[in-house]
Amino acid sequence: MAEHKAGPKATFVVQTYVAGARGALKVGEQVQSPSAESARMRGEKLMAAGKALGVDVVKQVADPEAGEYAEPEYLVRLGRVPELG
């Protein structure tokens, strides 16, 4: 029987940012979601509820078995978020 290879898999993460020292942004809660749409909706709900100053919805494609990781793709950025650089 042939061994099944998983291959690359997409993960969707909601990264929140909260107030840190002297008004600086600080990384907050990070939540995985099953799809881009559910991650976007969760990020919007967190912002609407005032639970975060900012939210990034990020897609990460990876194949851990092969050690391959694509650059993260920022799908949605809401509120105050760090500059990408």
Question: Could you report the per-residue pLDDT of 13-72, keeping only the tens digit for each?
Answer: 999 999 999 989 999 999 999 999 999 999 999 999 999 999 999 999 999 888 899 999
How many domains is the chain built from? 1
Whether residue 76 lies inside any domain: the answer is no
Provide the pLDDT for residue 58: 97
Place of tokens 């749409």: 37
Whether residue 79 lies inside any domain: the answer is no
Burial class (CB in 10 A: 0-12, 13-18, 19+), 23: exposed
Predicted TM-score (pTM) above 0.75: yes
Whether residue 4 lies inside any domain: the answer is no
Beta strands in the chain (DSSP E): 9-19, 25-33, 54-63, 68-69, 73-79
**Residue 21 domain boundaries:** 10-65
